[in-house]
Amino acid sequence: MFIKKYIEQETINRRDLLLASACGLGGVAAAGLLGPGMARAAIQDPTIAWSYRNRTNPYWNEIVSGGEAFVESLGMSKDALVHLINEGSSEKSLADVKALLAKTNGDLALAIDTNDAPNARPVVEACVDAGAYVSTLWNKTDDLHPWDFGDNYVSHMSWSDEGPAEQTARILLEAIGGKGGVVHLGGIASNNPAIERLNGLKNALKDYPDVELLDAQPADWDTQKANQVMSSFLTRYGDEITGVHCANDTIGYGVLEALRAEGISIPIVAYDGNPQAVELVAKGEFLVTVFTNPHWGGGITASLAYHAATGAFRPSEEPHEHREFYGPTIMITPEDALEFKANYLDSVPTYDWTDFWGPSNGQIKYK
Amino acid sequence: MVAVRTTNSPTLPDNPRHGIVLEALVKWAPLLVLLVLIAFFALMEPRFLSIRNFARIGISSSPALMVAIGVTFVILMGSIDLSMEGTVSVSAVLFAFAFLALGGTLASLAWLALPVALIVGAIIGFINGLIHIRLRIPSFMASLAMGFVGTGFALLITGGDRIRIEDELFRSLLTVRWFNFPIMCYVAMALVLVAWFIQSRTKLGRNFYAVGGGEELAHASGLNVGRVRIMGFMLAGAFYAVGALLAVGRIGIAETATGNNFMFVSITSVVVGGTALWGGIGGIWNTVVGVLIVNVINNGMVVIGLPGFIQDGVLGLLVIVAVFLSTDRKSVSFVK
């Protein structure tokens, strides 16, 4: 665990250094070449690619299945989608993109999560230079905007988790009658969603002076780790814990089992809206989870890049809220869990992949 | 990490009685470390010292203990096995598939899924051993690669999905308690005895020590070292599978991520328990103590309320201290 974290840290630092020196030299030269009007004529039949961490994680699995559904909607087999898997390495992410750009000669519609924010700029610049079209998801720095790159940097979608996490917290705090003690089990401490989801809880707590936040510990998005952290919480706080706020569903599963082992039943709220979590909400074992529709997110990101590439729409003619926007969030409570399950999970809805912004959630705001 | 033992210690202590005391201290150091840790956490937070908390530590230790015991056999031979994460995932996932396909409750034919899981674990271990011995690839690399293959295979067959095992009978591993401890703790203890029997009462167990203590000597005495090594990897694989079963029993989910973190926890536990990475020294009981040390630290740090970001650092420091206290540096001429 350490080793992994340490290596991640190191690679990021090393890359930052390289980036800094590269920007110094290349930035000046590149500035003259870029700018609107650079985009060339539409690409007839671009290669469609999704670049992401890996498929082990159910979340990314959903994202990519959306990408595949989009490709199938074009009448191709889902194998036509090119998968670039970075395994959590930004270097690999960038190197794979450059290799694919060379191979396709820039005839590329790329959907990508660049693994970390600083990596977004070199990826976008490589695509723009090659005349390819790119849409990003989740990671980018605040100073990087699609509208600064004409048509080729098509769009960026992200989610703000603070608001929805605050809503789940309010539902939890109401359920425990506005008094008692809650614990929070978070994601990897340095991850942005982990920080936002804890902040959401803290915001909600301001309105509930009689509820104490007993403890908040990272559970690294991991079921087994969450299970162990929750049992330790039970030792430390015992009956003082009247509710549990989890940063995501996989953490929630571990918490649920730690409580089941002790025969305890207290309200748990989760996040992400994984199918299994939705079932638990329907059974009343989770109080609420938040669905961010990763399937749609994965599909629409690929669709935006593709349709910009084919010239179906010109990104530079779209307003800013169509270039940088928040993804959808849906609260799933016991009352609507079954209906939600029937509509979204048992049968994956057939989305109109040309309705680019319908389900989205407004323009991204920077703090 | 690798060290060379001198066959005849050139630095014999001047006073033989002093030597015996030192030897005993080194032998019992891991247990002392464990007791000191328990005393420390109990002092900081009296609730640490409750039966219910010990049951919680027991639950979190059981799967890791099985995996650590598996790798102990391999480390005793002076090899290393890093395939545990992949093996645990594959065993867990195939167990879950077989279990659900055969009826989904232990009361039906689905109990056959238990031996299936063990056989799967042993087969992966066998392949590990075969690659290591026949292709002459260092065990470190062979097993690490097999671990990745395992994780990939588990992902391939699940497609990234998680499989729920809801059978009340199987979940009684966690939910039913005898004398305050859930059944999985007793299963783990029973397997510790099995492992101890293999280590101390069978020829195979003695051969592990022979290979780890001096491979050339063992070979010269007519021992088929390659065979012993392959057997060691198979045994380790079977124990990883038991760990997988307990991990599934604990959270009721089998998935590719079931194997996560087992590599760090198990290797750390073995080393902290006083089993030497260069082979021939240590054994099952060291590993039991090592697993308990790691889990007491993990549990204790949350119980006394250390902030999350400090916990990893403290765990790392404690590992160094524990290894320092529990290794007999006199018998090692140099460490590289």
Position A87 confidence tier, pLDDT thresholds 50, 70, 90? confident
* Contact (CB<8Å) A232/B302: yes
Does residue B218 belong to any structural domain of this protein? Answer: yes
Q: Which residue of A has its CA nearest to B303?
A: A236
pLDDT digits (tens, 9 = 90+) for B33-66: 899 999 999 999 998 999 999 999 999 999 999 9
The two structure tokens encoding residue B89: 């995932």
CATH of domain A162-291: 3.40.50.2300
Q: Which residue of A has its CA nearest to B262?
A: A1
> Does domain A39-159+294-328 fall into CATH 3.90.1150.150?
no
SS3 A7: helix
Q: Which residues of chain B make contact with A3, given a CB cutoff of 8 A?
A: 264
Does residue B154 belong to any structural domain of this protein? Answer: yes
CA B182 to chain A, closest CA, distance in angstroms equals 8
SS3 A266: coil
At residue B6, the pLDDT reads: 43
pLDDT digits (tens, 9 = 90+) for B64-117: 999 999 999 999 999 999 999 999 999 999 999 999 999 989 999 999 999 999
At residue A41, the pLDDT reads: 57
Q: Which alpha helices (H) appear in chain B, and where do they start and end? A: 16-44, 51-76, 84-101, 113-134, 139-158, 168-175, 183-201, 203-213, 215-220, 225-251, 262-272, 284-303, 308-326
Query: Scanning the structure block, which residue is given the tokens 């706080």?
Result: A237
Q: Which of B161, B252, B298 sits opposite A228 (nearest CB)?
A: B298
CB atoms within 10 A of CB A32: 7
Q: Does B257 touch chain A (CB under 8 A)?
A: yes
- How many angstroms separate the CA atoms of B94 and B155, rounded? 11
Q: Give A57-60's long-range contacts (Cβ < 8 A, gap of 24+).
A: A57/B160, A57/B257, A58/A250, A58/A274, A58/B160, A58/B161, A58/B162, A59/A272, A59/A274, A59/A294, A60/A294, A60/B160
User: For chain B, how many structural domains are there in total?
Assistant: 1
pLDDT digits (tens, 9 = 90+) for A6-27: 445 444 454 454 444 444 444 4
Residue A33 or B267, more confident: B267
Q: Which residue of A has its CA nearest to B301?
A: A232
* Contact (CB<8Å) B250/A227: yes
CA A191 to chain B, closest CA, distance in angstroms equals 13
CB B67 within 8 A of CB B243: yes
Q: Which of A345, A333, A223 is nearest to B162 (CA)?
A: A223
Task: Give me the residues paired with residue A182 across strands.
Answer: A213, A243
Fold identical between A39-159+294-328 and A162-291? yes
- How many angstroms separate the CA atoms of A250 and A257, rounded? 11
Position A34 confidence tier, pLDDT thresholds 50, 70, 90? very low
* Contact (CB<8Å) A236/B303: yes
Domain carrying residue B162: 62-283
Q: Does A9 touch chain B (CB under 8 A)?
A: no
Domain ranges of chain A: 39-159+294-328, 162-291
pLDDT digits (tens, 9 = 90+) for A109-147: 999 999 888 999 999 999 999 999 999 999 899 999 999
Position A28 confidence tier, pLDDT thresholds 50, 70, 90? very low
pLDDT digits (tens, 9 = 90+) for B123-141: 999 999 999 999 999 999 9
Does residue B124 belong to any structural domain of this protein? Answer: yes
Average pLDDT, chain A: 87
At residue A282, the pLDDT reads: 94
**For residue B235, is pLDDT > 50?**
yes
Q: Which of A270, A228, A250, A140 is nearest to A192 (CA)?
A: A140
pLDDT digits (tens, 9 = 90+) for A238-285: 889 999 999 999 999 999 999 998 999 999 999 988 888 999 999 999
A-B interface: how many C-beta pairs under 8 angstroms? 101
Does residue B28 belong to any structural domain of this protein? Answer: no
* Contact (CB<8Å) A253/B251: yes
CA B39 to chain A, closest CA, distance in angstroms equals 16
**For residue B2, is pLDDT > 80?**
no
